Structure 1
């Protein structure tokens, strides 16, 4: 593990949330949001309303900007998210998880909690000089983002199968080249 568990989980879920933009609306309804929350193990308040879904959708472009911003702009986004939420970091333990940081109460609105968790995790990346771990998928025509948490910083593709497609394309190109006289 390169970072604290909650930092890694927040980074991964922030990238996954951003990537729902490019999935032809990856959060089409409240039940899709519920599945997203379950997959990324979000606890706390979940109102299951259209307003909540809309607020989560509205957070995505702001987080997406982080993957193309420079350090100073990322710091501005992070500080803005924390300021707007009136974040007050505290060590919390719940749901059989070890102590970790929460900066807003568990009953705060979902989009606010998602924004603050992402901001806190991004603050860790900024402080440790690891912003290069935020990447765009290297597969042509894929606009997904990813967080490279590998020790050797070698991750190039998102979780949408792009790595497999790249490997198949490379194999086919080698095979075609070998078959040519």
Structure 2
């Protein structure tokens, strides 16, 4: 399941920004916001992974991107909680704040496609606007339930479900395996249900 290549890229950027630049839990452990130098590296790595020609973020931009990531997280949390009104309201607020505006672009051998840039041409606006727009496209389409927050215990990292059947519930294979292993161990413990018994 694909939205379109540009939308896929900016939605994935939103996921990575949230997962790298917001505190919470990851794979069963507390996840603290990286120290400022690491935050700068994390922000730069996310952006350069999607647009290698993009310059590195500076310290102020990394802080701004962390604030954007917190705002983006609220969209995923709204969808995961079944509150699409809250998720849509948050996206609309981000679209208003960034003044996302469409522009046709062609690069990297791709055909013309729509990009959304923020007002002012700053690195933060140039990423916040398309991330918000990508999430708006997802929420406004048939795959609105494909945004989620990991359901593994002690993990709150976000994901976008691109599987055919829309059954993804974990941020990573590591979390999926953690849950399966815990369920297996619970069945094997004395008093637990063993395969086939019951």
Shorter-chain TM-score range: 0.7 to 0.9
Deviates more, 1:130-139 or 1:158-167: 158-167
- Give the corresponding residue for 1:32: 42
- Give the corresponding residue for 1:14: 14
* Counterpart-to-counterpart distance in 2, 1:160 and 1:30: 27
* Counterpart-to-counterpart distance in 1, 2:187 and 2:109: 49
The offset of 1:166, in angstroms, is 1.4
Q: Matched residue pairs, number?
A: 178
The 3-state SS of whatever aligns with 2:151 is coil
The offset of 1:157, in angstroms, is 0.5
Deviates more, 1:8-17 or 1:165-174: 165-174
The 3-state SS of whatever aligns with 1:161 is helix
The answer to whether residue 87 in structure 2 is matched with residue 78 in structure 1 is: no
Residues 168 and 97 (structure 1), Cα distance of their counterparts in 2 relative to 1, 3 Å cut: farther
The offset of 1:24, in angstroms, is 1.8
* Counterpart-to-counterpart distance in 1, 2:87 and 2:184: 38
1:23-53 deviations in Å (ceiling 9; x for gaps):
32257332232222233x1356535321111
> What are the residue-to-residue correspondences of 1:34-49 with 2, within 5 Å?
34-39=44-49, 41-42=50-51, 45-46=54-55, 48-49=57-58
* Counterpart-to-counterpart distance in 2, 1:38 and 1:159: 21
Flag structure 1 segments of 5+ consecutive residues without an equivalent.
none
The 3-state SS of whatever aligns with 2:15 is helix
RMSD (CA atoms): 2.6
- Give the corresponding residue for 2:114: 101
* Counterpart-to-counterpart distance in 2, 1:48 and 1:125: 27
8 Å contact from structure 1 (residues 46, 109) kept in 2: no
* Counterpart-to-counterpart distance in 2, 1:74 and 1:43: 30
Residues 100 and 159 (structure 1), Cα distance of their counterparts in 2 relative to 1, 3 Å cut: farther
Counterpart of 1:62 (choices 52, 55, 71) is: 71
1:74-131 deviations in Å (ceiling 9; x for gaps):
33322222222232212211123343321217x9222212211111111212221432
- Give the corresponding residue for 1:167: 180
Flag structure 2 segments of 5+ consecutive residues without an equivalent.
24-30
The structure with the largest strand share of the pair is 2
The 3-state SS of whatever aligns with 1:103 is strand
* Counterpart-to-counterpart distance in 2, 1:119 and 1:138: 23
